[in-house]
Structure 1
């Protein structure tokens, strides 16, 4: 990437003391000897996901979809498009002009400038200035899957824009004064994106990648999923949040799962509420964009969700009302299944699950089985069974 993404902290994490999962959708927690879901002495603890980077050949088309999806343009040149949400903060997407559409990698926000120096020292990399829009400094790394990961600090943050407000609701047991003699008419317009919430990645080296993110970025696991009948082999998916101590963080900022493919699965963007999500979905539908799955409510993370494909087939999610956890929560454990992805809503589609038969899917599976990684025949069959249940 060209500005474009290209000594350990001795403080150990406090022992988790709470379990919000018990009696809900996950089992009680880890069995003896299972993955604890956090590193004892992480190098740093990132504060958030800053942005995602892509290349695309048509910036005009990318910008049109972004505006229809609810993002706004923070800056644009002939070679790069920087997009933002309405909340105060840095830009949340960077799209660079390139010969093909591809995901480059994520950038995470360091909590302190000294964290960049600590991370650079621990990894043998350098801290370098960012010279394009937003400025700041960065350390550029590669995760075990080969995905570029950037950690940044000092990037210029933009002030908040006027926000779409959640609707005032009358419930069965209470009546809002503002909803007396007042009809509810949410406009059919783009769902205003407030902020980037999370990114989901696929990897053939799940355990190595998981441990790398926990060790280097101080992320902690909210939920593990395992393959039915293979729990003794360890988890195959993790929903991972930032460790901000007693300050609550999104249930997951990063999610990863074992699979024959490597790289981007989808990214998620917060909107005000269910009505804004639904009305914005109708707006996208009227403009001919491809719907992938929704509307529903997830189990891990509890978000109300709706998934769409952009013109380059990248999957993007509108979400509202996600879980917030502090550092005391232990990981939940549950068996992976397609039906276990939502509390309510339509069944997960093949498009969302990535199970639509195609030569590309078959080629990925054959390639994964031939390489030295964590995808073997039993794992692949287990994944196929989980995605069909």
Structure 2
């Protein structure tokens, strides 16, 4: 295992790779990004976007007539940039490079060049397109926002370990204060090509692979991918890629202090008329406590807490994909979360299936059968 932990020891997955399967990393990537910097969207209604953002737990970092920057309480860049557009769409992620020199190496390897970012952000970016056509920025030397007052986690009495005496537990029903951006999930019709692109160019490494039941020999159809920070632990996934009939945003996730912050914040959102997609529960891959919501434009966003952190020594786990395997506990996964509830989104995905089956990509009839089996599991 080249000095890496054996996944068969039960550290995070019951099974590891078989001989000849994808190793989940490449030797000598062009650069190794440190983390996600921010996500960029376009929306026609910035007022509605800002109102929801405050209810979800963001703080406005900057607002103009045509742009909204949203931040968490941690120091660093804004988490989300929203610019005014004719329609709502996900523009793409920005990843943070370790230094400006990495941008020069990446630019040379991809036949591109570093360019200055707007003054409100500072620094430089190399703008690329992954094989799915998604714009991917790699940035360096951006402005750093100072930390804000954070929401303090509750003090718990855990079993017989009593730490709270003569004090009641009364979490306020207020927005869960977002601490930071955690990850983004995207769907692609070119899963394997897109995965290899991120591993090769950005130095990401796979934490877990999922495959359709009965189709392991055809390779994985989803990967949870983390940043390689050596011995420094990183989020179980900063990016997740899944095979599907269209290239699209699936959801993004934002860390909050603890379960009480997540649950009380969810009650605040519900009372203010916003729609929960799925939750509250705890995932299997990544272990996060989760709660999924829809913003006014239909984008899915997640509050999470208590996620797994892996260093570079952990090899990928392998598991079959199933709807019931998305959580350890919590309510059954919803049709809305799976994208199959009646409505415009499911109709768009249905049309995309017919289009994808006529085109040359990885989503073929066998993959469609595998996806349908997962949805019914």
Same fold (TM over 0.5): yes
Q: Distance in 1 between matches of 2:267 and 2:168?
A: 20
> Structure 1 19/188 Cα, relative in aligned 2: closer, same or farther at 3 Å?
farther
Rounded to whole Å, the distance in 2 between the matches of 1:312 and 1:371 is: 29
Whether 1:336 aligns to 2:321 is yes
Query: What is the alpha-carbon distance in structure 2 between the residues aligned to residue 118 and residue 215 of structure 1?
Result: 13
Q: Does 1:374 align with 2:359?
A: no
Question: Which region of structure 1 is more displaced relative to structure 2, 368-377 or 126-135?
Answer: 126-135
Q: CA deviation at 1:131?
A: 2.1
SS in structure 2 of the partner of residue 261 of structure 1: coil
**Distance (Å, rounded) in 2 between the aligned partners of 1:22 and 1:306:** 30
Q: 2:147 matched to which residue of 1? A: 160
Residue 228 (1) aligns with residue 217 (2): no
Paired position in structure 2 for 1:359: 347
- The one of 264, 270, 274 aligned to 1:285: 270
4+ residue segments displaced more than 6 Å: none
| Kept in 1: contact 2:7–2:16 (CA 8 A) | no
TM-score normalised by the chain length of structure 1: 0.94
Q: 1:115 corresponds to which residue?
A: 102
Deviation at 1:19, TM superposition (A): 3.5
Task: Classify 1:21/1:348 alpha carbon distance in 2 versus 1 (closer, same or farther; 3 Å).
Answer: farther
Secondary structure, aligned partner of 1:278: helix
1:25 Cα deviation after fit: 6.3
Cα 1:112/1:32, change in 2 over 3 Å: same
The answer on whether the counterparts of 1:16 and 1:327 sit within 8 Å (CA) in structure 2 is no
Q: Is the 8 A contact 2:123 2:139 kept in 1?
A: yes
- TM-score normalised by structure 2 residue count: 0.97
Counterparts of residues 199-348 of structure 1 (less than 5 Å): 199-348=184-333
Deviation track 1:128-171 (CA, whole Å, cap 9, x = no partner) reads: 01123121100000000000000000110111101111100012
Unpaired segments ≥5 residues, structure 2: none
2:46 corresponds in structure 1 to 59
Contact 1:293 1:308 in 2 (8 A): yes
Question: Aligned with 1:32: secondary structure?
Answer: coil
Shift of 1:44: 0.2
Q: Name the CA distance, whole Å, in 2 between partners of 1:298 and 1:200.
A: 15
* Counterparts in 2 of 1:155 and 1:274: CA distance versus 1, 3 Å: same
Hey, what does 1:4 align to over in structure 2?
Answer: none
Q: Is the 8 A contact 1:22 1:28 kept in 2?
A: no
Alignment pair present for 1:145 and 2:128: no
Asked whether the 8 Å contact 1:206–1:256 carries over to 2, the reply is: yes
User: What is the rounded CA distance, in whole Å, between the counterparts of 2:339 and 2:170 in structure 1?
Assistant: 36
| Corresponding position of 1:124 | 111
Give the drift of 1:16. Answer: 5.5
How far is 1:239 from its partner? 0.1
Q: Which deviates further from its counterpart, 353-362 or 147-156? A: 353-362
Residue 81 of structure 1 corresponds to which residue in structure 2?
Answer: 68
Q: How many positions carry a matched residue from both structures?
A: 374
| Shift in Å, 1:27 | 3.2
User: What is the SS of the residue equivalent to 2:240?
Assistant: strand
RMSD of the TM alignment (CA)? Answer: 1.2
1: distance between equivalents of 2:122 and 2:300?
28
Whole-angstrom CA distance in 2 between matches of 1:308 and 1:185: 24
Shift of 1:324: 0.2
Partners of 2:125 and 2:138 within 8 A in 1: yes
User: Pick from 149, 156, 161: which aligns with 1:169?
Assistant: 156
User: In the alignment, is the contact (CA less than 8 A) between 1:16 and 1:329 conserved in 2?
Assistant: no
Q: CA deviation at 1:386?
A: 1.0
The offset of 1:299, in angstroms, is: 0.2
Give secondary structure in 1 for the equivalent of 2:207. Answer: strand
Specify every segment of 5 or more residues in structure 1 that has no aligned partner in the other structure, as ranges.
Answer: 1-13
The structural deviation recorded for 1:244 is 0.2
Deviation of the 1:76 alpha carbon: 1.1
User: Helix, strand or coil: the match of 1:343?
Assistant: strand
**Counterpart for residue 181 of structure 2:** 196
